Structure 1
Amino acid sequence: MIKKLIKDRKIILELAKNDCKARFSSSILGIVWTILQPLVNMLVIWLVFQIGFKSSNLSGDIPFIIWYMPAFLIWNYFQEATSQSTNSMLEYSYLVKKVNFDVEVIPPIKIISNAFIHCFFIAFIIFVNFCYGKMPTIYYLQVIYYFFCAAAFSMSIGWLCSAITPFATDVSNIVSIIIQLGFWITPIFWDPSALTDVAAFLVKVNPMYYVCMGYRDCFVYDVPFYRHPLLMTYFWAVTIIIWIIGTKLYKKAKPHFDDVL
């Protein structure tokens, strides 16, 4: 799979660009809707917790929006990339029927197209931090690593679920429900340090805990990525296992895609 991705990287990149453009080509504001929705969500959460509840125990001495943004925006990327890659085989069914087309590149299209949008949000985080007087540091560069983590995890799930979706379309609904539940058990707008040891352990079972907290380490806490060796090992172990299962299942299902799509 990795060899195919490297070999077809130009095709994936072009299809990802077209996917990003075509998604909102029929609307007046176009891609602005993709950017506007997370921004409105952040604004609502900020008004509720910072202005309405005047809660300072979530982020301590750090402005709530600075603390909240990094974890939420990487979760938003994971949510969009995973959901869309799960349904990618159905959306690009016309490509599956082309004899000489490698269908393995279809799920990565969604991973890359959402990455374009996420780059804007990374710049937005840096801009808001600057407005609050927080200057860029060397730790900001770690966002490249943590974004790669999120993309790899989304890709592993995408390959696994997109291989099943053509045969059972309910898989996409199941993935959406799991992602919604995952949002509430991931420390996006609550502080994991307030949990008991047992509850904290259960929360850390979610691989996205590592990524969301990693984004905060980059933009908020200035903590180097190697400070969490156990979480890093666990995250990559889970990602690689899902990746292997997903790619093997994808190869077995590939000959039957043309029949069911």
Structure 2
Amino acid sequence: MDQFKLVLKYKFLLNELVMRDIKIKYRRSVLGLLWTLLNPLLMMIVLTLVFSNIFRFSIDNFPVYLLCGQLIFNFFSEASNMALPSILSNGSLIKKVYVPKYLFPLSKVFSSLVNLLASFVALLLVMIFTQSQITWTILFVPLPLLYIFLFTLGVSLLLSALSVFFRDIMHLYGVLLTAWMYFTPVFYPLDILPAGIRNIVEFNPLTSFINLFREVVMYNQVPTLSLNLVCLAYSLVMLAVGAYVFYKNQDKFILHI
């Protein structure tokens, strides 16, 4: 509760940090925020051309299937990547004034969330273009977005804390993310995988978040209680681990930045 009150107290700074990230990302860009729509659309077109022939018999409406997976994974990838060096890159500010240090990784996750919400508009446009059925179950979209937000925040807190002491993480994490992407069913169906690999992929938390997202957006299903509980468990456990590691080490940051 005290940490929540601190977030409210420093909400102006949090807002400024988020706006700064967005402005820096699109600085000197002619299209600006429009790229949040174009990026997923262009990537979807490329991947659809590459994979649609391979998977056309097992995935109906492959563009929507692909874009649903992309939105969730890209949010996680972008937010955690940006949060990873957030403490180190703000070292000069941390040394000068007191600022709750978790605001820096938190701002990265929020700025990526802005991009995710804009990309969701691109998904709706693709669904309309492909004449996909949009039903009232889309109202459940906040559930998977909340779960992936909490999970990503936990990972971001963990990474931003560890990177202060182990700089090699900043180089290793890119490799890990690439492997993580291939073990996440973004552009392929689970049923093509051998049993052993499929068990690993199903254990991947991002698989559960993407499945829940696809259920309410693409398959027009009310999310099951069991899947919600699994997603909630992944989110809360990761958030607890990340917050604990960050809190236990934050007082030592100033000695290493």
Shared fold, TM over 0.5: yes
Whether 1:11 and 2:24 are equivalent positions in the alignment is no
Q: Which amino acid aligns with 1:240?
A: L
**Aligned 1:1-261 pairs, distance under 5 A:** 1-32=3-34, 35-50=37-52, 53=53, 55-59=55-59, 62-225=60-223, 227=224, 229=226, 231-261=227-257
How far off its partner does 1:68 sit? 1.2
Asked whether the 8 Å contact 2:58–2:189 carries over to 1, the reply is yes
Instruction: Please tell me the root mean square deviation across aligned C-alpha atoms, in Å.
Output: 2.1
Q: Deviations over 1:181-201 (max 9, x none)?
A: 111111111111333544332
**Residue type matched to 1:102 in 2?**
P
Q: Quick one: percent identity of the two aligned structures? A: 23
Inter-partner Cα distance in structure 2 for 1:26 and 1:95 = 25
Is this contact kept in 1: 2:208–2:230, CA < 8 A?
no
User: CA-to-partner distance for each residue in 1:220-253, whole Å, 9 max, x for gaps?
Assistant: 111212x251x43333333323322222221222
C-alpha spacing 1:196/1:3, structure 2 compared with 1 (3 Å): farther
Which residue identity does 1:191 align to in structure 2? Answer: P
Give aligned pairs, total: 255
CA 1:156–1:54 in 2, change beyond 3 Å: closer, same or farther?
A: closer
> In the aligned structure 1, how far is the partner of 2:17 from the partner of 2:229?
33
| Worse-superposed segment, 163-172 or 132-141 | 132-141
TM-score normalized by the length of structure 1: 0.88
Asked if the contact 2:141/2:213 (under 8 Å) is kept, the reply is yes
Structure 1 gaps of 5+ residues are none
Distance verdict in 2 for CA 1:93–1:24, change over 3 Å: farther
| Residue 179 (structure 1) shift | 1.4
**C-alpha separation between the residues in 1 aligned to 2:23 and 2:116?**
15
TM-score (norm 2): 0.89
Deviates more, 1:90-99 or 1:120-129: 90-99
* Cα distance change, pair 215–238 in 1 and its aligned pair in 2 (3 A): closer
Contact 2:36 2:118 survives alignment (8 Å): no
CA distance in 2, matches of 1:3, 1:228: 31
Contact kept in structure 2, 1:156 and 1:246, CA below 8 Å: yes
Give the gaps of 5 or more residues in structure 2.
Answer: none
What code does the residue aligned with 1:72 have?
Q
